[in-house]
């Protein structure tokens, strides 16, 4: 299984950084405008949490909190699991499964450089399987 860097090199980084002092309303606006489901939360350039659609539903909406008055620090998921670009995809998937998350901040020297989702990892897996199936069909049908 390949390294995360192979996914990261295929695209532009998808990172919109917010601070714990910003409001949920600001995070929702950033997420909606950029079609993303999670934002990393940094304090003095250090990752302290993430805020996801799941956090919005469970910790804000379901609790009747006000988007404009609630800070991200109050409702973020603290100390998220992270990965480095040179890690393999299987390791990243195992980390995500172990904690039940769908988004993984990618860090280099304690700085968030990108975010990967379970969807990103699964799409690469599907693409590789499709290529493998096509190669096997070619072999079986003699077009190798």
In this structure, what CATH number is given to the domain that contains residue 106? 3.10.580.10
- Please enumerate, as own/partner, the contacts of 117-120 that have beta carbons within 8 Å and a separation of 24 or more: 117/37, 117/38, 118/93, 120/7
Q: What is the pLDDT of residues 68-115, one digit of tens each?
A: 999 999 999 999 999 999 999 889 999 999 999 999 999 999 899 999
In a domain, 53, yes or no: yes
In a domain, 129, yes or no: no
In a domain, 36, yes or no: yes
Q: Angle 89-99/118-140 helices, nearest 10 degrees?
A: 130
Print the domain residue range for 111: 4-116
In a domain, 59, yes or no: yes
In a domain, 139, yes or no: no
In a domain, 123, yes or no: no
Confidence of residue 144 (pLDDT cuts 50, 70, 90): low
In a domain, 31, yes or no: yes
When divided into structural domains, the chain yields a total of 1
């Amino acid at each position: 299984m390949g390294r995360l860097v192979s996914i990261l090199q295929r695209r532009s980084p998808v990172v919109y950084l917010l601070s714990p002092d910003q409001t949920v309303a600001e995070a929702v606006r950033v997420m909606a405008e950029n079609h993303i489901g999670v934002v990393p939360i940094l304090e003095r350039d250090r990752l302290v949490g993430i805020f996801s659609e799941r956090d919005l539903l469970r910790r804000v909406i379901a609790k009747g909190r006000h988007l404009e008055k609630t800070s991200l620090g109050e409702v973020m998921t603290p100390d998220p699991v992270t990965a480095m670009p040179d890690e393999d995809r299987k390791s990243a998937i195992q980390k995500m499964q172990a904690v039940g998350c769908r988004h993984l901040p990618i860090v280099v020297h304690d700085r968030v450089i990108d975010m990967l989702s379970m969807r990103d990892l699964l799409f690469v897996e599907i693409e590789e399987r499709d290529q493998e199936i096509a190669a096997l069909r070619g072999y079986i049908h003699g077009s190798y």
